[in-house]
Amino acid sequence: MRPLAFSAFILAAALPMAAQTTSAGPADASSTLWYARPANAWMTEALPIGNGSLGAMLFGLTSTERVQFNVNSLWTGDEKDTGSYQAFGDLFIELKHAAPTGYRRELDIDRSVQRVAYTNNGVRYQRTAFASHPAARVAIARSASVTLASSARYR
C-alpha cells in the first residue's frame, strides 16, 4: 500500500480576475449549487470536494476561511456499523474581508470545482478549489482584481 501524500497547495495569484476565465464557458446552471452567503454549519452548508481518498469541506468565509480536510483512512465504525469519516484537520486562511458585497459561493458539479467570489473595499476577490486524484492533492487558487490586493495569513 502506497503511503498517503497529503498536502494542500495554496496558490496566491495577483492576476486580474479576467485572467481566470476559461474557454469552457460558464457553468451549466442545472449542475451548479450556489449560495449568496457563506456556510455556517459543516454538515448541511459547507461544500465538499474530493478525489476518492482526500476530501475537503469549504465554508466560503470572508474574514477567516475554514477548510476542513478528511482522508479515507480516518474511519470510525466497522463492517456492521455505518460509521463515518473523521476530520483530518483544518486550514484557516485569514483574509480580514469584513464587509463583502456581491457574494456568491458555488459548487460546479460537472467540473468538480468550488468557487467563492465577492467584492470588498472595491476589490473583486475569487477563490477556486478542486481535488486532483492523479496528484493526490487539494488545490486552492486565490485572485484579486487589483494587483497585490490578495494577502492572507495561513494557519
pLDDT tens by residue, 95-152: 999 889 999 999 999 999 999 999 999 999 999 999 999 999 999 999 999 987 778 8
With respect to residue 96, please indicate whether it lies within any of the assigned structural domains. Answer: yes
CATH number of 52's domain:
2.70.98.50
Q: Residues for the chain: how many in total?
A: 155
Is 20 a member of any domain? no
Write the pLDDT tens digit of every residue in 65-88.
Answer: 999 998 888 877 776 777 777 888
- Tell me whether residue 25 is in a domain: no
Please check whether residue 78 lies inside any domain of the structure: no
Residue 89 inside a domain? The answer is yes
Which residues fall within 8 angstroms of residue 70, CB to CB, at 6 or more apart?
Answer: 54, 55, 56, 57, 85, 86, 87, 88
Give me the domain span that covers residue 61. Answer: 8-14+30-72+85-154
Q: Is position 52 within any domain? A: yes
Q: How many domains is the chain built from?
A: 1
AA identity, residue 96:
K
